[in-house]
Amino acid sequence: NNMEFFIPMYLHVLVRFGKWDEILADPEETNTNYSIKICMQKFARTLAYSVKGMIPQAEAEFELFKQKRNLVPQVRRIGNNPADKVLEVAEAMANGELLYRKSHFNEAFSELRKSSELSDNLIYCEPWDWPMPTRHALGALLLEQGKHFEAELVYKQDLRVYKNNVWSLNGLAECYELQSKTDELEEIKLVLAEANSKSKDKVESSCFCRKKKAI
């Protein structure tokens, strides 16, 4: 069923807003006909356990994700893309988040960059077949590790693809502030203020996977 990908969309929302406990409380799908939903639950649970610092549980969920991904029928699609191509994005992102929590930072950033590039190569669709740009997680975690200039480049690249999105604008403003780029900061603040005016809640980080202030 090529419409099945609509069913787990709520999981993307829970990840986007860092609802980790809600993700873990979500009843696990047992109907094997919903193979994409099963994979997306494993993806979201990997992220949830990783962010909560529960590494053995996160590793177990990630292994299950990879097993379940192999069971998705080759004909199954997510929007305009083969399901496997989208789940490849998910696998790299989940692996990056898990590696980050294990303090393997270089490998983590490499996997998150890979996920971003895989997402870039998906066939265009509205809404996007991968709703949360992985660069939002990459930028947030680079900032958390004090890699301000690297994060700046990531946010600029994301804003070229998704113009004036509040998540990357927020991250870019923080990068400018941390690097004392006063002129750039004042300019971006105007754009950010407009973007925030359209948002119900003020965004304070490009990804809720970030737990600490920037170094």
pTM: 0.95
pLDDT, tens digit, 9 for 90 and up, residues 64-85: 999 999 999 999 999 999 999 9
DSSP reduced 3-state for 56: helix
Q: Is the pLDDT of residue 1 over 70?
A: no
Structure tokens at 51: 């962010």
Q: What is the torsional sign of CA 47, 50, 54, 55?
A: positive
Does residue 202 register a pLDDT over 90? no
Round to whole Å and give the CA distance between 213 and 215.
Answer: 6
Residue 126 has a CB neighbour count (10 Å cut-off) of 7
How far, in Å, CA of 210 to CA of 194, rounded? 24
- CA atoms 67, 96, 120, 168: torsion sign: positive
Report the chain's mean pLDDT, rounded to a whole number.
95
Total residues found in the chain within this entry: 215
31-61 pLDDT, tens digit each:
999 999 999 999 999 999 999 999 999 999 9
Q: Based on the number of CB atoms within 10 Å of its own CB, is 93 exposed (0-12), middle (13-18) or buried (19 or more)? A: buried
- Long-range CB pairs of 191-198 (<8 Å, 24+ gap) are 191/164, 192/166, 194/164, 195/164, 195/165, 195/166, 195/169, 196/166, 198/166
Q: Which residues pair with 81 in a beta bridge?
A: 78
Dist. CA 78–CA 180, nearest whole Å: 43
Mean per-residue pLDDT, 170-198 = 94
CA-based torsion, 65, 68, 72, 74: positive or negative = positive
